[in-house]
Amino acid sequence: MSNQSFWFLENIDVTQIFCPQKIGKGEMEKHIHRTYERGEYIYLPEEHADKIFFLTEGRVKIGTYGESGKEITKAILNTGEVFGERSLIGEDKRRDFAYAMEPTTLCVLTVEDMKSLMRDHSGLSLFLMKIMGSRMLEMEQRLESLVFKDSRSRVIEFLLELASKKGSRVGYETLVRKFFTHQEIANLTATSRQTVTTVLNDLRNKNLITFNRKRLLVRDMELLKKEAERKDAA
């Protein structure tokens, strides 16, 4: 799924479904909205899994802890994305943690709320299935990348995936707003911050990308793909 925002899948306006002025038969109150400060946990592993979250503002990190206690980042989510959805398919306790990376607002729904919405909105089930399927595929691809790709290739492939999914076309270029920090990229690609910095600077010197703390601009997606392929073949 490329160049998309999750709430426009299948032309469903999920914002209006999750966060309407009135829901159900017109008399029910709004869904609960909660705000979190930067650094605040939304949930932790082993907590009861009975809610689904729609990110209306901010950024959220999804991760887990390894046997040594090391933090493993699984995903970084932006406005418009849904998480905690595994509670719909029988997850009783959280396997991961969810953490607010900046001031964040969430629309919070119980499992029963979501099931009711799915009955009322036929396209919502497909929307959630696509999210879960997409995330499973992403995890499989990341695992394959860890096994078969070197660290440089993993960073370049991360940039390609980010631009494809979150970027918008500006002429022949692709712009990604809210770019990741070098440490965040390192966490997501199982590399070091130093490696990420080296790769990004090399790509910038080759005029394939430009970036700062707020945005990434890919000059030419095809040339960046060729760079990844060339490194794979090396």
pLDDT at 14: 62
Q: What are 218's strand-pairing partners?
A: 174, 209
- 142 HSE (CA, 13 A, CB side): 19
Neighbouring CB atoms inside 10 A of 180's CB total: 20
Tokens of 223: 């040339």
Output the pTM of the full model. Answer: 0.71
Tokens of 7: 């709430």
Closest alpha carbon to 117 in 97, 88, 158: 88
- Distance, CA of 83 to CA of 134 (rounded, Å): 13
pLDDT at 17: 66
pLDDT at 115: 84
The ranges of the chain with pLDDT < 70 are 1-17, 19-31, 147, 231-234
pLDDT at 220: 92
- Distance, CA of 81 to CA of 62 (rounded, Å): 12
Instruction: Give Cα separations from 122 to 12, 117, 187, 207 (angstroms).
Output: 10, 9, 37, 46
Strands 168-170 and 60-65: unpaired
Residue with tokens 């799924």: 1
Quote the distance between the C-alpha of residue 43 and its chain's center.
17
Neighbouring CB atoms inside 10 A of 58's CB total: 19
Closest alpha carbon to 217 in 199, 232, 234, 200: 200
Quote the distance between the C-alpha of residue 121 and its chain's center.
24
Which residues, 6+ apart, have CB-to-CB distance to 122 below 8 Å? none
Which run of H or E residues covers position 17? Answer: helix 14-18
Which residues, 6+ apart, have CB-to-CB distance to 128 below 8 Å? 82, 85, 88, 118
Residue with tokens 């991961």: 96
Three-class SS state of 195 = helix
Phi, psi of 156 (to 5 degrees): -65, -45
